[in-house]
Amino acid sequence: MTYKYVSVEKKDRIAIVRFDRQHDMNPLSVELMEELTDVARSFEKDFETNAVILTGNGKNFSAGFDLKGAAQKERMNAGMLERKVLQSVGPRMCQAWEDVEPITIAAIDGYCIGGGVALSVALDFRVASEDAHFYVPEIKNGMNMSWQSIPRMVNLMGPARTKQISIVAEMIDAATAEKWGLVEEVATSISSFNTAMELAQKIAERPPIPVRMIKKGASAAANALNNATSYMDVDQFTLTTYSEDYAEGVNAFIEKRDPKFKGR
């Protein structure tokens, strides 16, 4: 199948998935997220692949959901039920990638922001380039960190670091991300891809049935309570979009100024 923003290459039990919004910062549009969801689900019938590398445009992994896109305006003009459905695109994408049976590896270059972080923590491994930076600014835009990413981040970093990156909301570099447990490895070069490929090649050499069994067992143990703690995730996010603080946060982002929140 041919996609507008996503390419898939398969060789020697390794699949390489690249997504490129054709914008330097590589923001996530609804169309791109739907393509990434379809690609993830395509592995349900793939019996050859042992490892999947997901990477951005080579310059940046992703700046997260595009708040300046047409989809944002459509959501804000929608009623509550329609808005909830529209806001389920991101969570569905992340869940689809978490459900991929082969081992998944995020190769992260440049900026990994907001929804980019949410997508990366849905994968099994994260390899970052030396110049990678991670940032969860949702709270500065008057919203909560969504897409069921909070329990996934807790699994990786623990509750304190998850609160720190999501509430203090300061950008961290690759070395700090590795120290906190947000990434498993920092590449020794400006690009993360070669290091991710080395890991994928090691996984590709292993027998595919035990690979999938081990992944499923480890994921089931780690994620057992994830749904119980985030099943209202989309509802909570939808609720925040009706607040004055959310409108202020988004407007401040677009106008490139500091927001003034009032708890309304």
By C-alpha distance, which of 61, 217, 221 is closest to 155?
A: 221
Q: In which residue are the tokens 């304190």 written?
A: 160
Contacts of 129 (CB under 8 A, 6+ apart): 108, 109, 110, 174, 186, 187, 189, 190, 191, 192
Kindly report the pTM of this predicted structure: 0.93
Q: Would you state the pLDDT for residue 75?
A: 67
- Per-residue pLDDT band at 135 (split at 50, 70, 90): very high
Residue 238 has pLDDT above 70, yes or no: yes
Q: Is 78 helix (H, G, I), strand (E, B) or coil?
A: coil
Rounded to the nearest 10 degrees, the angle between the axes of helix 149-157 and helix 208-223 is: 100
Task: Reply yes or no on whether the pLDDT at 78 is more than 80.
Answer: no
Contact, 223 vs 154, CB < 8 A?
Answer: no
Domains of the chain: 6-189 (3.90.226.10)
